[in-house]
Structure 1
Amino acid sequence: MAALDLTRRTIAVIPGTGNIGSRLAFQYAKAGLSVVVGSRDAAKAQKLAAQISKETQSSSVKGLTNAEAAASGDIIFWNPSGPLKDREELLKSLASHLVDKIIVDVTNVLYFFGESEWGRISSTLLNRDSLGVPARWTTAFKATIARFLREDLPDVNNPHTTFVAGDDPEAVATTIALVEIIPGFKGAKAGPLENSRIVELLGPRWLIELDKLNAGGKFSTYWKLGV
């Protein structure tokens, strides 16, 4: 894959003050990209942005409201928490700012669906359908435990693979490039966005249980899904 120039693109993490979002914002600021941290509370976003700026010595980190972040971002990392209904309502409120943008869904539903729905639907597909405007959705980091994005980065010689599903080739290539900016991470194509139904089953809760069964809960390479 040819290298993509991401230096002219602004990364918006919405919301960006949680466990996964704040670590992604840190990594992309550290890589020299322009980053916007979104939050319902602008002051909270500004405080985190200032902290990231200091830690990464970057002058390209801003804290804004979710709506402002959605408007200013070229690539959106979608990272809400809470019930699916609340996530969808937030998404709909931002719809006018998201037309035709790349939206990288990094959320994990933590099995909000009943067992009969596992593998039949995904939060990514529900969000895509509820948005109401065209956008280029992909998945990433859905099977990633937050601390592995900063405190315990994977070994670059034994990278953690994150599966990137999506229907738009440019969006998939861009997402993989953003995954691989972070040391110790590898992006792997996972086919069309419909495959997010399968990708979401590989959530942290299941991976932790798998690790307990096979490696005594030490977070060894069992959960890494290396390819």
Structure 2
Amino acid sequence: MAGGDGVQEQLKVAFIPGTGRMGSLLAGHLARAGMSIFVGSRSQDKGLQTAQKLLASCPNARIQGGSNHEAAAWANTIFWSPSGSLQERENLVQSLAAYLKNKIIIDVSNVMYFFDESKWGQTSSVLLNQKALGVPARWTTAFKATFYKLLEELPDPQNPHHTFVAGDDEEAVLTTIALVESIPGFKAVKAGGLSNSKIIELLGPLWLFELDKLNAGGNYRSGWKYAV
């Protein structure tokens, strides 16, 4: 399913949920890139309402909305960005297990602030969710060190921001890279196997917030960027 125009034709991309800042922004950008999108939510009505808002901004897009269960059943590729405690996230993924088997799941959440510092670098939310799911799925990571603000005002494609893509399934990694790079101003960087998510999550929002504060007033914009 990876690479070129075939991504638009073959992928059915759900956001679980797609009603938060990251989920709704990514859903809008991928819809504009030609993907078929399903916005999920704990509330079916909220999923439908968010889909309608996105359609108002890109009326020719293919967007629908509903519950998280409907989203998981419909999609072959899922962006995973739930809120709540680690246990609440694990409960959600377990409740969707029957619909997620063997599908690509792109974890864009970063919840290292839930971990005691003694556990930093020892595990990650995506590894915990992979274990909690209990059935085979093709997990990858992306956008874990990306502020939602960078998705509101996209970076200059000539000076792109980079996101680490880690995963153990090569096709899932290539599909994730294609999705990342369908959004103007973003470039994917292969980051090895899924175990490297233990490192990637440490580059997350709390540290980036600190950098923003320390560099307030300067010509600084949060995000992971390589010289190109």
Could you say which TM-score interval applies, normalised by the shorter chain?
over 0.9
SS at match of 1:120: coil
SS at match of 1:111: helix
TM-score (normalised: structure 1): 0.94
2:211 maps to 1:224: no
SS at match of 2:189: strand
For residues 56-205 of structure 1, what are the structure 2 equivalents within 5 Å? Answer: 56-149=58-151, 151-205=152-206
* Greater alpha carbon shift after TM alignment, 107-116 vs 3-12: 3-12
Aligned equivalents of 1:97 and 1:30: distance in 2? 26
User: 1:122·1:200 contact (CA, 8 Å) conserved in 2?
Assistant: yes
* Greater alpha carbon shift after TM alignment, 53-62 vs 72-81: 53-62
Identity of aligned residues (%): 55
Q: CA RMSD in A?
A: 1.6
How far did 1:110 drift?
4.1
User: 1:34·1:60 contact (CA, 8 Å) conserved in 2?
Assistant: yes
How far did 1:220 drift?
1.8
How far did 1:58 drift?
2.7
Match in the other structure for 1:208 = 209
How far did 1:59 drift?
4.5
How far did 1:125 drift?
0.3
How far did 1:183 drift?
0.7
The alignment covers a number of residue pairs equal to 225
SS at match of 2:38: strand
Aligned equivalents of 2:48 and 2:104: distance in 1? 24
User: Per-residue displacement from partner, 1:16-46 (whole Å, max 9, x unpaired)?
Assistant: 1001001011111111110000001111111
